[in-house]
Amino acid sequence: MSTGATDPADARELTAWADYTHTGLRTLTRLFRNETGLSFTRWRAQVRIHAAIPMLSAGATVESVARRVGYQKTSAFIAAFRRVTGRTPGAYR
């Protein structure tokens, strides 16, 4: 089984990870924030965007990168990319 860090397109929510690790959701939420300094949602967005950067640098289209890192809508990927980097993926390329 892959982890969200090795497969940024992994769409499992924190409740699924809690089940997988046999941990309570509240406990996992607290541990995640204590260990990373981020909520699970923010962490996942950062992992996805950081995985996208080399793909964009290699010339992949914004649409294909969005799908490869787990976004179903390109517009959601663009918005997340801008939140994390301060620029759009197109401007980054």
Q: How confident is the model at residue 91 (pLDDT cuts 50, 70, 90)?
A: confident
In a domain, 49, yes or no: yes
The set of residues, in sequence order, having a beta carbon less than 8 Å from that of 88 and lying 6+ positions away, is 78, 81, 82
Cβ(65)–Cβ(56) below 8 Å: yes
Q: Mean pLDDT throughout 79-90?
A: 95
What is the pLDDT at residue 1?
42
In a domain, 70, yes or no: yes
Q: What is the largest CA-CA distance in the chain?
A: 42
Q: Mean pLDDT throughout 55-71?
A: 96
pLDDT at 2 > cutoff 90: no
Domain that holds residue 61: 14-92
In a domain, 35, yes or no: yes
In a domain, 6, yes or no: no
Q: What are the tens digits of pLDDT across the range 5-39?
A: 578 999 999 999 999 999 999 999 999 999 999 99
The set of residues, in sequence order, having a beta carbon less than 8 Å from that of 29 and lying 6+ positions away, is 14, 39, 40
Q: Mean pLDDT throughout 58-66?
A: 96
Q: How confident is the model at residue 3 (pLDDT cuts 50, 70, 90)?
A: low
User: Residue 43 is part of a domain; what is its CATH number?
Assistant: 1.10.10.60
- How many folded domains does the chain comprise? 1
